C-alpha cells in the first residue's frame, strides 16, 4: 500500500512522522511539499527571528502523548519551558523529528520537494501530478495543504494589484528572494487590512527593520488579540451549567452560561482553555443556522480571546499604540487604487454612514486564515473542486468530510481513499488550526490509515449476512 501526503507543513509532517514510526514493512510513504519550508510549512519555515510562538514551549510537542517533547528536544529549564520561543526554532524541531522517523522507519519513505498540482482517480488508485510534469500512482492520498493562499482584497483596483505598493501577503518573496516587507520605505504611511496575529507579525517585522512611519491597522471590529499571562494560570473545571449548555446545541445558551461564570473565575483565559476539549464535539452538534449565527456575530470576538499573543509582543504593540505610531480602526476598505503619488483608499468606519478618502504609501493584506475553497486560486484544491472530487463547506470553512476525514464529493458521497487533515476541516471541527487539536487528529488518521482492511471473504459475506438478517 502506498500512502501519499500532500503538504509538508505541520499537519503533513506530523502525520508522516506518525506513519513512519508505526507503518509495517510493505507500506510505502510519500510526503510531497514545496521545497521552501519543507517539513516546516509557511508558519514555521517562512517566519523571521522576531516571530514568536503564541503557545508556551512546554505545550508545543507534536506528539499527542508527549506534549513536552519540544521543550525536552531543546533541553529547556523549567523556567524556559514557560517562555514563547521563536517559530523558526519550532520549524527546526518539526524537520528534525521528521528526518529521525524516516531513518528508522520500517516502511519505504520518499520525500518529494515539489508542488502537487492535480490528483485524479485512476481505477482503484489516484494519480498525483507534480509541477515539474512528473506523476505517480498511489493508493491513498491525504490533503494536508494547510490554509489557502490569500485572496484578492475586495475593492483593490487592477493597477494596484501589480504595484509594489500593494503587499498581498507579507512573507511573499520578491525577485531578490527577500520578503515583500523589505521594500517598504522606513517612513512609509502603511495601511494594514487585518488586526490579528498576521498584523502583529507584520508590525514587529517593520519595526525591527527600522520603519518609523505611521501604521494603521483596519478590520471589521478593530480588535487586537489579547495576551497570554506572563505566568500561566491554574486550570479550571467547567461547572454543570456550562456542560449542560455545551450539550444544548444553542450558541446563545452557551454564551449566557459563560457570561454568568466569567466574573467568578480567577482569569477568563482559564475559562477559554477549559472549553477547548469540548469545542469540536459542540461544533458537530450545531445546525447550520447556529453555525452561521456564531460566524456572523461572535467569531471576531472569539478569535481575539482564543488565539492570543505572547506577552512581550502584546506589550510592544500597546507601546506603539500609546505613542501614536500604531492605530487600530474598526471599519471596511471600500476601494483602493494606485494614485499618482500614493495609494488612494476609501474607508467607512464601523457605525458610520459616510466614507473617508485617505492616502497611504503601502497597503498590506494581513487578514489571516483562508479556507474558502470556492474562491481559492490554489492549483490543487481548485482542480479537485472543479472536478467535483471535493465539495465546499457552506460557510466557507474548508471542505466537507466524513468523521474519518475522508472527503465528500459534490454529491455528498465519500471519495474512498482521499482524506484531509488540517485547517480545511474547520467546517467539520472548527477547532483544528492549533497544535493540540492537530496532533490528536494526526494520530487518529494515522491509526485509521494503518488499520488492516477487512478481508475479501468478510467483504463478500457481509451483504449475504445483512440480507438474511433483513
Domains and CATH numbers, the chain: 2-149+371-456 (3.50.50.60), 158-227+308-365 (3.50.50.60), 240-304 (no CATH)
Please give the grid coordinates belonging to residue 182. Answer: 523589505
**Residue 128 and residue 121: Cα distance in Å, rounded?**
9
- In whole angstroms, how far apart are CA 31 and each of 35, 39, 89, 319? 12, 9, 22, 44
The tens digit of pLDDT for each residue in 50-79 reads 999 999 999 999 998 999 999 999 999 999
Beta bridge partners of 336: 156, 345
Strand 362-365 relative to strand 166-167, pairing: parallel
**Residue 74 and residue 88: Cα distance in Å, rounded?**
13
Q: What's the confidence (pLDDT) of residue 176? A: 65
**Residue 216 and residue 410: Cα distance in Å, rounded?**
42
Q: Which residue has the cell 433483513?
A: 470
**Residue 280 and residue 276: Cα distance in Å, rounded?**
8
Q: What's the confidence (pLDDT) of residue 36? A: 84
Q: What is the pTM of this model?
A: 0.92
* Polymer length of the chain: 470
358 φ, ψ (degrees, to nearest 5) = -135, 165
Residues of the chain with pLDDT under 50: 455-470
Amino acid at each position: 500500500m502506498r500512502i501519499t501526503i500532500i503538504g509538508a507543513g505541520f499537519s503533513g509532517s506530523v502525520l508522516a512522522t506518525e506513519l513512519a514510526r508505526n507503518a509495517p514493512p510493505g507500506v510505502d510513504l510519500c510526503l510531497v511539499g514545496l521545497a521552501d519550508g519543507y517539513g516546516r510549512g509557511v508558519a514555521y519555515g517562512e517566519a523571521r527571528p522576531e516571530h514568536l510562538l503564541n503557545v508556551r514551549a512546554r505545550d508545543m510537542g507534536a506528539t499527542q502523548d508527549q506534549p513536552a517533547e519540544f521543550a525536552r528536544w531543546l533541553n529547556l529549564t523549567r523556567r524556559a519551558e514557560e517562555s514563547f520561543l521563536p517559530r523558526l526554532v519550532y520549524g527546526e524541531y518539526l524537520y528534525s523529528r521528521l528526518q529521525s522517523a524516516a531513518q528508522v522507519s520500517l516502511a519505504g519513505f520518499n520525500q518529494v520537494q515539489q508542488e502537487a498540482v492535480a490528483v485524479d482517480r485512476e481505477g482503484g488508485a489516484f494519480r498525483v501530478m507534480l509541477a515539474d510534469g512528473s506523476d505517480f500512482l498511489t493508493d491513498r492520498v491525504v490533503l494536508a495543504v494547510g490554509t489557502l493562499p490569500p485572496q484578492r482584497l475586495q475593492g483593490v483596483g487592477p493597477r494596484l494589484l501589480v504595484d509594489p505598493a500593494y503587499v498581498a501577503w507579507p512573507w511573499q518573496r520578491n525577485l531578490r528572494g527577500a520578503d515583500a516587507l523589505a521594500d517598504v520605505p522606513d517612513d512609509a504611511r502603511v495601511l494594514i487590512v487585518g488586526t490579528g496575529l498576521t498584523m502583529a507579525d507584520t508590525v514587529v517585522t517593520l519595526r525591527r527593520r527600522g520603519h518609523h512611519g505611521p501604521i494603521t491597522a483596519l478590520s471589521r471590529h478593530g480588535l487586537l488579540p489579547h495576551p497570554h499571562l506572563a505566568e500561566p494560570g491554574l486550570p479550571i473545571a467547567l461547572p454543570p451549567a456550562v456542560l449542560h449548555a455545551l450539550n444544548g446545541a444553542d450558541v446563545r445558551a452557551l454564551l449566557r452560561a459563560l457570561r454568568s461564570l466569567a466574573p467568578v473565575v480567577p482569569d477568563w483565559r482559564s475559562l477559554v482553555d477549559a472549553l477547548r476539549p469540548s469545542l469540536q464535539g459542540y461544533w458537530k452538534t450545531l445546525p447550520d443556522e447556529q453555525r452561521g449565527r456564531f460566524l456572523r456575530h461572535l467569531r471576531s470576538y472569539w478569535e481575539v480571546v482564543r488565539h492570543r499573543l505572547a506577552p512581550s509582543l502584546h506589550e510592544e504593540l500597546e507601546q506603539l499604540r500609546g505613542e501614536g505610531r500604531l492605530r487600530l480602526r474598526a471599519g471596511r476598505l471600500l476601494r483602493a487604487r494606485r494614485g499618482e503619488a500614493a495609494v488612494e483608499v476609501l474607508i467607512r468606519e464601523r457605525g458610520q454612514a459616510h466614507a473617508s478618502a485617505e492616502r497611504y504609501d503601502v497597503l498590506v493584506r494581513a487578514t489571516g486564515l483562508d479556507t474558502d475553497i470556492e474562491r481559492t486560486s490554489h492549483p490543487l484544491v481548485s482542480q479537485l473542486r472543479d472536478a467535483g472530487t471535493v465539495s465546499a463547506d457552506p460557510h466557507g470553512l474548508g471542505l466537507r468530510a466524513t468523521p474519518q476525514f475522508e472527503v465528500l464529493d459534490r454529491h455528498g458521497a465519500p471519495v474512498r481513499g482521499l482524506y484531509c487533515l488540517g485547517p480545511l476541516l474547520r467546517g467539520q471541527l472548527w477547532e483544528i488550526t492549533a497544535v493540540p487539536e492537530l496532533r490528536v487528529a494526526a494520530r487518529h488518521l494515522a491509526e485509521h490509515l494503518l488499520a488492516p482492511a477487512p478481508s475479501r471473504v468478510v467483504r463478500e459475506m457481509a451483504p449475504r449476512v445483512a440480507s438474511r438478517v433483513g
